[in-house]
Amino acid sequence: MSEPEHQLTPADIARMRTPLWEQAKIALGRGNPEEAAALIDRAVDQWSALKDYSINWITTLLTFIGEEMGEEAVERALRKTGDEFVRPRRTTGTEWASLPASARAKVIARAMLGNMGEVDVEEDDEKITLSFKCGSGGKLIDDGRYEGEHAYLKLKEKSGRTFMRDELWVYCAHCSVNNEIQSVEWGEAPSSIEYPPEKAGERCVHHIYKDVADTPAEAYERIGKTPPVQ
């Protein structure tokens, strides 16, 4: 009996075991920047597909929780994420409010770019304003995932988790719960003051106050909190 023919060559196996960004480094080492650039583009496409898979997975689960157990259960689920995952990541020994607004804005912008968003920046005497074409929650809205068959949940119980709006996209509730409500409950300033889109095509706007004491009372009231005493 003849030996079965192998379908994978050693070169195939080497590529299968080597991430595209490492292949790009190898191409650069060989003096082939065009190949390296093409490999980086392929790596970005792969990451984009995985990111889209993940945000749809998360939003499907949040929708199921809200439909089966109610909107308050969505907040409880997000709070668990905040307490057990988000807060430890933010425990750096440096108080968020003590950082210059420029540093806070750079951290937020870096995260949004890493999430494949687009960022515009404006600054006035009081604050830095970041305007995002969001690569996660905003993309779900723009892709029409909250409409039609199998639409994702829109939260409709007016509360802090909806920024006191009559309606909020369920994925965007992590912004109110984890970034603002829990930050205040942990004795910190909100990460930023966020204004998610109200319809497809709009940008998500973040206000980063240079002095967090200048944050308007309305920013706290809309998340069901009392402004701190100055």
14-55 tens-digit pLDDT: 889 999 999 999 999 999 999 999 999 999 999 999 999 999
Looking from the CA of 200 toward its CB, the CA atoms found within 13 Å total 9
Q: What are phi and psi of 127, to 5 degrees?
A: -155, 165
Residue 180 burial class via C-beta count within 10 angstroms: exposed 0-12, middle 13-18, buried 19 and up: buried
Q: Which residues of the chain have pLDDT under 70?
A: 1-3, 230
Compute the distance between CA of residue 140 and CA of residue 198 in angstroms, rounded to an integer. Answer: 13
For residue 163, what are its two tokens? 């920024």
- Determine the Cα–Cα distance for residues 62 and 56; give it in Å rounded to an integer: 10
* Under 8 Å between Cβ of 181 and 149: no
Please report where in the chains the tokens 């009559």 appear, as a residue.
Answer: 166
Q: Which residues pair with 194 in a beta bridge?
A: 206
Q: How many Cβ atoms sit within 10 Å of the Cβ of residue 224?
A: 15
State the sign of the Cα–Cα–Cα–Cα dihedral 92, 95, 100, 106: positive
- Gyration radius from the chain CA atoms: 22
DSSP-assigned beta bridge partners for residue 204: 132
- 194 φψ region: left (φ > 0), alpha (ψ -120 to 50), beta (else): beta
Single pTM value for the model: 0.91
Note the pLDDT of residue 171: 98
For residues 188 and 182, give the distance between their C-alpha atoms in angstroms, rounded to a whole number. Answer: 9
Q: Is 20 in contact with 44 (CB distance < 8 Å)?
A: no
Q: Which residues contact 196 (CB under 8 A, 6 or more apart)?
A: 137, 138, 163, 168, 169, 172, 175, 204
The answer to whether 220 and 160 are in contact (CB under 8 A) is no
